[in-house]
Structure 1
């Protein structure tokens, strides 16, 4: 069966950066499973998955515009430490949720300098080309319930 709209797809992947460093991988774990066409994986990867079938192995480079987006300098800000009420020890790499004009935003602390905290609201992989090595493990038709809910259910169904 070929991957098409509403297929349930399971695949193994290794994601590397421009320097060839592994950023993420399914190695040693279960394959990643998603409902094709529901926006659960980056658009550039979902596009090249269409038409593939179990056993297919391929590599693909996904541009930032089709991955986690381009970097936006306005999402890098300096805020006072007091904005982090109840957090005693703020360290680079810590992640927080904040509110902005567009709603909830995830930010990462990039630097702490005295009473100032530098945060970045860009996705950590924004602006980067994503290099995927893919192996399609399984493709099946989705159930009516999976299509209705917009996500894959495990063996025996899913109860909300």
Structure 2
């Protein structure tokens, strides 16, 4: 909705001065006069009338604290996800095949996921852990470096295991 611009008159300035003297906050003055908060702020500034911003500052601090709490909760959930994903690397799982010319489905239980699935699980776990660190960085940077180092070593080990398993699978196949 487009509104017409109305010039600020001496009467408007007098109303702002009177409402300000009555202790009304900026937004209430804006509503009563049918003006934007920005217009009221500019008029008050020209008149040398300060608004008490302590309520706004307190609300901003509370909102920031709420956001920090939500980030901490999300970071904790991401760490839990990373742990669950990394545990799946060593758990029995079902592998399956679906499709083919007859559109068939076949499955079997194995002691551990195949190497490529382990790699995907650890990649997802690493990503979840990294995101948790971005949301709530540790207070001590050395701890973050240790965590990154541990995750890096884990990924290198998984890559080596994946390459070894892929090599063994290739050797076992017939041409």
TM-score category (smaller protein) = under 0.3
The structure richer in strand per residue is 1
Query: Larger radius of gyration, structure 1 or 2?
Result: 2
Tell which has more relative contact order, 1 or 2 (C-alpha 8 A, sep 6+).
1
TM-score (norm. length: structure 1) = 0.19
The structure richer in helix per residue is 2
